[in-house]
Structure 1
């Protein structure tokens, strides 16, 4: 079996992630990591809190707390929320760990020694009113490419282009809105021009990159890569290790992407097997897969590969960056300032994690922006999770419980339609497997749902409740194969809805460990079923209204609390 590093984009812990952040990175990565483990692969699934940078520093100062305290408390909140969402990290760490700080400094110093970093003086924006330099994210203006009015100094979130603050039209301080001054300072630059040809080959020759990642990256390469400043004048961050760079910190975006390596080192160090990290990050046979939203494409497809090449340390090049489009909420982008959307702490107060996980994967924005609406969520929960999946499970197991003595029946005397059924559901399971392999998680789930629908049609056609009255062996043949299809369903759903899948496995009385290859093994006659109860329950429109009222009450409570970590609902 293979070795995989699975990395989800590191959330910036100035706030709690919302549902769009979750499906774009962490949840998608978790589904894939769980799938790979079921297949028997060796997986290290890592991420962590992005703790540095000016946004946290400025807000901490405004609140009268130390940035380290602010970031640490928010990290603890976010880590606990991911645990409650059943995210199966091998390690969820943060960028202020000793391991990460030392690794990042050593890594960049090696790039400097290799001749890929140079210095130059430049004019940078400075807010005379707030008396601070304005790193990229604290200067906003109009994007020179698409005209978006609130483009940041490092990137336009509308078109995804990487920017320089001087490119912004009508720039202004993001804190107070004042027009910035330009002051001379010295910064250290990564010379991307020296790496451009190798990066182009990496992108062009990579068959695994999704279309949006390849198109955006090739568009940037066509325009030509410019040197990028990798130091900043803010205080809260990793001190730059270069000679003469006292008082500078490493730009947060450049050091955070190295966390995928430092987190694997930290993981094995905690296990007392530190040397094993190289089997994943310095092994050409290993595969490295990132999960990000499309706004993170440049940093994972251009910047990180460039850093790995410039370091020259024989690191494993990323296999792919599984990048989603955006998830909208009721037709518009998520917005904290407008209180538009649902954040992951709020979501768990409304519905169990399996419900959210199932819905979000079912509508995962793989090829285009997708709109989350409560009407769509209600339809998925009631018609798909309950009528299709839950109803089929209940029909099969309840009938075995009541008419087959509560034990798995023998294969019986199958008719051609029974063999045809198991062939159809096996092919659907293999289809889901192919989609999982291709990181087409939505299509994988849809194939599994189609298995349940096929099962319901099969029961309706074969009517075992009638067969059992006249031909017990024929009824056994139907229920034996229906039970087998439930094995496939439980295994296939385990990455998406782990609570429900493992509950189903227990109800079926399966004693074997839930693994992917178990789906292909015929049932063992005579195994006793466990307690049979509904997997899911339906949600009414009235309940949705109540849930939304509860959401507003929760937000009123949050707004009354001073500190961001006090506003997190646990």
Structure 2
């Protein structure tokens, strides 16, 4: 029997990693990928090494309800689920099999576990739910009620002319369609009318001070998220409609709301909980999910784009507070700015950008993983360019990391037949001591940045370490030490070098797991997934260990890559579009 009171007194470290649920009406593009799922995967892989695989859970899923899919189904005269079944499986295949995203559970909002949990959870909020008539935008041309995001117009606060009915992407303020100036249906472009309809509202105003206090007191929430959220709270939170008049969604559980569905944002946020429940249901451990939501020893990380901040920093914690249960509130909500493509916003209709089923045809997926984390827009909008992509692959991956690994291991083979030489701690010079100190320090420096949601910043430190290692190797010049017969100094240099390669492999693993494993294979060190993060700080490859076969780790992109890439993309795009499920074409 599960004892929640006992669990609340235990200090068991559990790490919950989540990423925003991608909406299945289109294939995610590279900006979507880095904003949530790829970032979460990098962190989850780090966390498993740091805290143990058995203590980390990484979940997400397909968000598949709402108007866009309902409209498409009406056009095609099919059930919406037929479309989302195909789209979900396609996206799931891309994430798990192509991009090697290490989800413990990638589920969907059509999951029976999710639908059941959402309805039961919302009934716990009835104390804070009120019924009121609301004016809902209705498109007379398309003959349907429009959800907030399907109404566009001018923001009443900043004048931005392309604001959505739920939020302005320019100033970040939460909106309702009735607040927009010159509102238009985003499907047909015609002005909607506003019809009165009874709806159920979650009274966020009841949690204004609680949310303010929670955000203000957090020492772990990133500053950009805190400042934006506190700005909304200072204006006063208002009731937010939980229900919609759409048919395609989870039926509202409230008495009298039988013809309503749940607003997709309310139910998708609860997917973070239902995905954990479903994971343990499948394992036959139906109560264990509570270890990730009620224990004192929990750290939770949410990886999202900046447009999703209000829902994660205001609505989700308010719902958890309102439930009457001691749910663990988010610790770190890592929100990226926007990734631009050659100076422009990604656009499917204008074919601007690269989508995640196209990218693997252009370059090794793990090269993409590294490039995207190096371009992760952590402080401001960042521009993806092919020129910078080539520089990162050819300089940072090949020249800095790959060449160093190859040089150290090749010299170990050449001078010692691949056997690690004896180490003399009493014969170290200042350069040796400096690199040993860096080996001791760098895993904590990178790990601390990762745990703040600063993945790009973590890779900056990793590359700083690699460059220091290269400088050390050039300074020590083992080839000269060998010729001069300086055996003790040569031994120490290559002993420190081979251990620094192990450190690099572990630091690289969250970004490029297969290539990190290749380094471990060359080191003859077994499965890197069974390694511990903190071993990267130690000189643990000792005298007498024999390394494996050395091979080239990375390859440079050819000089003409940049000039030819756009033509190549255009060619593969036509073939890939034919392969996509109906909903995603």
TM-score, length of structure 1 as denominator length? 0.96
For the residue of structure 1 that corresponds to 2:545, the secondary structure is: coil
User: Any conservation in 2 of the 1:505–1:514 contact (CA below 8 Å)?
Assistant: no
TM alignment of 1:295-374, pairs within 5 A: 295-374=307-386
How far off is 1:171 after superposition? 0.9
Q: Specify which of 487, 508, 516 is matched with residue 533 of structure 2.
A: 516
How far off is 1:556 after superposition? 2.7
2:564 pairs with 1:550: no
Coordinate RMSD, CA, aligned: 1.6
Q: Specify which of 207, 217, 235 is matched with residue 223 of structure 1.
A: 235
Distance 1:176 1:70 in 2: 22
Distance 2:526 2:564 in 1: 40
2:558 pairs with 1:540: yes
User: Any conservation in 2 of the 1:238–1:250 contact (CA below 8 Å)?
Assistant: yes
User: Any conservation in 1 of the 2:84–2:583 contact (CA below 8 Å)?
Assistant: no
Q: Gapped runs of 5+ residues in structure 2? A: 1-11
For the residue of structure 2 that corresponds to 1:129, the secondary structure is: coil
Q: Specify which of 485, 488, 504 is matched with residue 473 of structure 1.
A: 488
Q: Specify which of 11, 19, 23 is matched with residue 22 of structure 2.
A: 11
Distance 2:492 2:206 in 1: 67
For the residue of structure 2 that corresponds to 1:345, the secondary structure is: coil
How far off is 1:566 after superposition? 6.7
How far off is 1:559 after superposition? 5.1
Q: Gapped runs of 5+ residues in structure 1? A: none
Distance 1:258 1:500 in 2: 36
Distance 1:241 1:307 in 2: 16
**Partner residue of 2:7?**
none
Aligned length: 565
How far off is 1:496 after superposition? 1.1
- CA deviations on 1:179-217 (whole Å, 9 max, x unpaired) are 212212110000111111111111111121112211111
- CA deviations on 1:373-394 (whole Å, 9 max, x unpaired) are 1111111111111110001001
Distance 2:352 2:503 in 1: 39
For the residue of structure 2 that corresponds to 1:510, the secondary structure is: coil
Distance 1:560 1:79 in 2: 18
- CA deviations on 1:311-370 (whole Å, 9 max, x unpaired) are 112111111211111111111211112111111111111111211111111121111111
2:100 pairs with 1:100: no
- CA deviations on 1:408-457 (whole Å, 9 max, x unpaired) are 22215743132332223433343223222322211211111122211111
2:139 pairs with 1:127: yes
Q: Which region of structure 1 is more displaced relative to structure 2, 94-103 or 142-151?
A: 142-151
User: Any conservation in 2 of the 1:15–1:564 contact (CA below 8 Å)?
Assistant: no
- CA deviations on 1:96-126 (whole Å, 9 max, x unpaired) are 10000000000001111xx100111122111
How far off is 1:160 after superposition? 2.4
2:442 pairs with 1:424: no
Distance 2:283 2:293 in 1: 17
How far off is 1:561 after superposition? 7.0
How far off is 1:553 after superposition? 1.3
**Partner residue of 2:149?**
137
- CA deviations on 1:268-304 (whole Å, 9 max, x unpaired) are 1111111110111112321221111110000000000
**Partner residue of 1:507?**
522
**Partner residue of 2:289?**
277
- CA deviations on 1:235-291 (whole Å, 9 max, x unpaired) are 100000000001100000010000000000001111111111011111232122111
Distance 1:408 1:141 in 2: 67
TM alignment of 1:38-77, pairs within 5 A: 38-41=49-52, 42-77=55-90
For the residue of structure 1 that corresponds to 2:383, the secondary structure is: strand
For the residue of structure 1 that corresponds to 2:170, the secondary structure is: coil
User: Any conservation in 2 of the 1:433–1:444 contact (CA below 8 Å)?
Assistant: yes
Q: Which region of structure 1 is more displaced relative to structure 2, 479-488 or 158-167?
A: 158-167
**Partner residue of 1:437?**
451
Distance 2:141 2:452 in 1: 52
Q: Specify which of 70, 87, 91 is matched with residue 78 of structure 1.
A: 91
